Amino acid sequence: MPTDSNRIKVLLAGLCSQLVCVGIARFAYTPLLPIMHEQTWLGDASGGWLAAVNYMGYMSGALIAASVGNLRAKDRLYRAGLVVAVLSTLGMAFTQDVILWAVLRFVAGLSSAGAMLLAAGLILNWLLRHHLRGELGLHFAGIGSGIAFAALAVEGLSRLGQAWDGQWLWLAVLGAVLAVPAWMWLPGPDTRPFTASGKPLQDLPPPGGFLKLLLAAYFCAGYGYVISATFIVAIVERQPDLAGQGNFVFLIVGLVAAPAVLAWDRLARRTGVLPALILAYGVQAVGIVLPAVSPTLSAAMASAVLYGATFVGCVSLVLTMAGRFYPTKPAKLMGTLTLAYGAAQILAPALTGMLAEALGSYDLGLWLAGGFVAVGAVLIAALARMETPDALRS
């Protein structure tokens, strides 16, 4: 029977995969966006469209995760995603062609789905097979750690005088180093239909009405998440009194998110998953709109703290819940939910970028994002009034 150190090592493999595929391949674009605005031809609208293409790749990866049922195939795709994350990051340094950039952002999105969904499903399956607590907080702490890592790396490389292309190059090197434990520490999948003690693994699917509301609520979370994730640095840097503070604010998001996701796991044990989600959605909605309410550093900092403390918690709680419904194939429902999340992530950055270019401000985009998350909180409250599915009673 695996020891607690084995469990931590497996979860750390997932955390490292998040650092590579999400922190570097995805989130490095956010602190690099203002630099690319200054040093390349990239504008607000084109920057938003490239972010949208990244999420198209992520959504395509979610489709793959939802359609591939074989655990061994999922494992192979996860490992391929690590390689793709490094190569797509490297490729960003060697072109300014919009088509090539779009292709690279698309495949980077594919790789981030590997860390978010395939790794999460493989890890949760391993935990449940070995009768260990089915929580993915440490795995998803890699998102917050990845944000902090990307912000620190870009800030450090900027201070060393690296231009935008040199920064992508060095980030690829760092990604290659982190990919090693992400590859080595995740065991190959066990495909037997029973646990380590011989008990059968049994799926406990939710009622259809529950799943539809959950999909709608997760769409709302995706809309809110992506606006701050993509534009928070650019929003801060655009304020004359806040110039030079963007990466610092983005760093705060990551530093808060990494431990906060573990706290949401603990809260969910006490209150249940759905009440914890209602609180997370509500706090996130407030955090998103704060920069539109007050263009000050204190408001930006408060926004970073509230947003960082909640967005990964929402993802972790929803996807862990999905895995508990389907322990034999946890990434399947995770992928389906992420299609809803990903649809919002395609729509939101492109729309927000166009609004910012037309109006000269991100304020309307922030209010729209906060409104969507508030609606999501109402939908989760409706779920809490329904009969509790069997998988959430244990």
What are the extents of the domains in the chain?
4-185+204-392
Q: How far apart are CA 89 and CA 29, in angstroms?
A: 10
Architecture field, domain 4-185+204-392: Up-down Bundle (1.20)
The C-alpha atoms of residue 78 and residue 184 are separated, in whole angstroms, by 12
Q: Is 69 exposed, middle or buried (0-12, 13-18, 19+ CB in 10 A)?
A: exposed
Check: CB of residue 39 under 8 Å from CB of residue 161: no
How far, CA to CA in Å, does 254 sit from each of 19, 150, 224, 248, 250?
11, 9, 16, 10, 7
Which amino acid, 93? A
Alpha-carbon gap, residue 381 to 341, rounded angstroms:
18
Instruction: Give the containing element (helix H, strand E) for 24.
Output: none
What local confidence, expressed as pLDDT, does residue 2 receive? 61
| pLDDT of the residue at 235 | 74
Please report how many Cα atoms fall inside a 13 Å half-sphere around the Cα of residue 362, on the Cβ side. Answer: 30
Task: Give the up-direction half-sphere exposure of residue 192: CA atoms within 13 A in the CB hemisphere.
Answer: 12
pLDDT at 227: 79
> What's the pLDDT at 14?
92
pLDDT computed for residue 58 by the predictor:
80
User: Looking at residue 201, what is its pLDDT?
Assistant: 67
Q: Give the span between the Cα atoms of 232 and 148, in whole angstroms.
A: 13
- Beta carbons within 10 angstroms of residue 60's beta carbon: 17
Extract the residue ranges of the chain whose pLDDT is less than 50: none
pLDDT at residue 388, rounded to an integer: 67
pLDDT at 13 (0 to 100): 94
